[in-house]
């Protein structure tokens, strides 16, 4: 697998760090792999815009997930947007969190702030979804 540059700041590998994700991605049928790549790329471009506005690095902590890994995560839903590359969890420096929370109120798609472990979830599902 090549580590394709998706945006100025994000590589494909950053979205394939969950256990088993890189192998899972590589073994997908080519038509499904293409759609997952497109989903990840679209998400990366939207996160690049967030990164540019905040002017701070974003670290992806969970991108594409296997069904098996997703099933063992507390609070993960069976139809998670992580399963097809449309969702990612990420962190930023503490000093930018409040600015990010305000900015993400306008995010189209899914968005949630997890204060207990200081991370964000964003996804590119249709509509505006909060929980």
What pLDDT does residue 2 have?
64
CA 37 – CA 27 distance, rounded (Å): 13
Which has more confidence, 58 or 75? 58
21 and 69 in contact (C-beta within 8 Å)? yes
Q: Give me the pLDDT at residue 74, please.
A: 87
pLDDT digits (tens, 9 = 90+) for 13-54: 999 999 999 999 999 999 999 999 999 999 999 999 999 999
| Percent of the chain predicted with pLDDT > 70 | 98
Predicted TM-score (pTM) of the model is 0.94
SS3 112: strand
List of residues 6+ apart from 93 with CB closer than 8 A: 56, 57
Q: Report residue 101 CA to chain centroid gap.
A: 16
Domain 12-130 CATH class label: alpha beta
CA dihedral 109, 38, 54, 80 (to 10 degrees): 40
- For residues 120 and 107, what is the distance between their CA atoms, to the nearest angstrom? 12
């Amino acid at each position: 697998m090549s580590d394709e540059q998706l945006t100025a700041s994000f590589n494909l590998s950053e979205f394939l760090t969950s256990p088993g994700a890189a192998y899972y991605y590589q073994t997908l049928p080519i038509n499904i792999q293409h759609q997952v790549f497109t989903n990840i790329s679209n998400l990366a471009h939207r996160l690049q815009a967030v990164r540019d506005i905040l002017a701070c690095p974003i670290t992806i902590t969970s991108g594409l997930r296997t069904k098996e890994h997703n099933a063992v995560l507390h609070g993960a839903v069976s139809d998670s947007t992580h399963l097809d590359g449309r969702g990612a969890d990420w962190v930023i420096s503490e000093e930018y969190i409040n600015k990010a929370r305000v900015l993400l109120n306008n995010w189209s798609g899914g968005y949630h702030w997890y204060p207990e472990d200081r991370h964000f979830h964003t996804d590119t599902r249709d509509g505006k979804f909060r929980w």
